[in-house]
């Protein structure tokens, strides 16, 4: 699926935010995350589903 990361379109095979961060090599980084403009705390990343275009 294609998602937008820091304004850039990225292709990633992930169904959750946590998986996407892992596949994009951000898993170990300290980062703030948001999906469609809404903040996602670190504890919610594994349960936050992604859709094409997020």
User: Model confidence over 11-45: pLDDT tens digits?
Assistant: 999 999 999 999 999 988 899 999 999 999 999 99
What is the C-alpha R_g of the chain?
10
> Would you state the pLDDT for residue 43?
96
Helix (H) or strand (E) holding 22: helix 17-23
Measured distance CA(32)–CA(11) in Å, rounded: 20
Q: How confident is the model at residue 2 (pLDDT cuts 50, 70, 90)?
A: very high
Q: Rounded to two decimals, what is the model's pTM?
A: 0.90
At residue 30's C-alpha, the angle toward residues 7 and 53, to 5°, is 30
């Amino acid at each position: 699926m294609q998602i937008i990361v820091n304004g850039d379109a990225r292709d990633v095979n992930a169904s959750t935010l946590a998986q996407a961060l892992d596949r994009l090599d951000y898993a170990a980084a300290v980062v703030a995350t948001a999906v469609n403009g809404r903040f996602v705390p670190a504890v919610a990343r594994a349960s936050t589903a992604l859709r094409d275009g997020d």
